[in-house]
Structure 1
Amino acid sequence: MEDINVFLAHAVELEREAARRYEELADSMRTDGNAAVEKFFRKMAVFSRKHLALAMERGGFRQLPVLAAEGYSWPDGISPEQFDWIGVDCMIDVNNALDLALDGERRGHAFYADIASTTGDPEVRMMAQEFAAEEAEHVAELEKWIGRYAPQTANPPLAPGSNHAGIK
């Protein structure tokens, strides 16, 4: 990616998707009754909107830039912050919601980091590095939350070849 305006158009779309994803996840956590994770996801949506505003400000955009679908250069054909095929439903549990959010942040980080390492444009490189660093902070924060909510199992996993009765 060699044009700062094209880069910023991608950043705007990516951050718009991230904010939408976090709002959906927050709504699901409200349904799940997990107020702490709901609040965290709403905070992450605010950060995404701030990144969106920053991208627009840096580009001098008065309105969101509009690219045709074929004008975007996404790694897998869709914005890295879009949900994968499972998406979000009102019955998602906290661990799956956190995993889904982490996956999106990791893909967003990889997108920006790849641009930073491959562009020949110094302005694009600098901004991509900055955005990648912000995404890395989000990844680290989500990893902390996942550690906090990781499922605790009372029984260790069974060894291969064994069964519940201990008979091989």
Structure 2
Amino acid sequence: MSCVDVETFLAHAIALEREAARRYEELSAAMHTEGNRALKDFFARMAHFSRLHLAEAQARGGFRTLPALRDDEYQWPDGIAPETADWAGVDGFLDGTAALKLALDSEQRGHAYYAAVSATTRDPETRRLAGEFAAEEAQHVAELRRLIAARSAA
């Protein structure tokens, strides 16, 4: 996947981060239903980080004219936003480990998307921005891996 310009990249990043925030809010609510306060708070914090990424993408696009893409105009791997895949199983019966693994898969897809854009674009500004977003996603992946490992060790 290669965004040809920074405006197209930012339109994609805004959609991706908006969806990620919504998905983390769903996980937070599921963990509330399960009675898992620690994971409820963790996923609420991750939703907050996604909203910060969203605000950052919107701010960077604020002085530009971003394309208003229809759902079928986004250039997502596999035709679906990276942080949307495999979310059909979020409900009140989702346990903590499954929620963390779902979030990890989502963050890995988000990271792979941003890293692929950074690696394939010819636009230096898009490369830089996508690289920054990929680095942030890599931190989320590492944090989720630590949490999963800690649960496995317990």
Q: Is TM (by shorter chain) over 0.5?
A: yes
Write out aligned runs for 1:93-108 (5 A): 93-108=95-110
Aligned to 2:4: 2
Q: Find runs of 4+ consecutive structure 1 residues off by over 6 angstroms.
A: none
Q: Deviations over 1:85-130 (max 9, x none)?
A: 6430110000100000000000000000000000000000000000
SS of residue paired to 2:125: helix
AA partner of residue 84 (structure 2) = Q
The match for 2:139 is 137
Instruction: Report the CA distance between 1:148 and its aligned residue.
Output: 1.7
How big is each residue's C-alpha offset from its partner over 1:52-84, in whole Å with a ceiling of 9 and x where there is no partner? 00000001169x963112220000101001041
Q: 5+ residue gaps in structure 2?
A: none
- The code of the aligned residue for 1:56 comes to Q
- Larger Rg over CA atoms: 1
Within a 5 Å distance, the mapping from 1:80-95 to structure 2 comes to: 80-84=82-86, 86-95=88-97
2-structure distance, mates of 1:49, 1:112:
17
* Identity, % of aligned positions: 59
What is the letter of the counterpart of residue 147 of structure 2? W
- Which is richer in helix? 2
- Match for residue 11 of structure 1? 13
Q: Match for 1:143: what amino acid?
A: R
- Pairs aligned (count): 152
Note the alpha carbon deviations across 1:121-150, whole angstroms, 9 max, x for none: 000000000000000000001011111222
State the 1:3 CA deviation.
Answer: 1.0
Report what 1:114 is aligned to. 116
1:136 and 1:60, CA in 2 relative to 1: closer, same or farther beyond 3 A?
same
Cα distance 1:16–1:61, how it changes in 2: closer, same or farther (>3 A)? farther
Tell me which of the two structures has the higher relative contact order, counting C-alpha pairs closer than 8 angstroms and 6 or more residues apart: 2
Is 2:28–2:39's contact at 8 Å kept on the other side of the alignment? Answer: yes
CA RMSD of aligned residues (A): 1.9
Q: Go from structure 1 to structure 2 and tell me whether the alpha carbon gap of 1:88 and 1:150 turns closer, same or farther (over 3 Å shift).
A: same
Normalising by the residue count of structure 1, what TM-score does the alignment of the two structures yield?
0.85
Contact 2:32 2:40 in 1 (8 A): yes
CA distance in 2, matches of 1:59, 1:37: 33
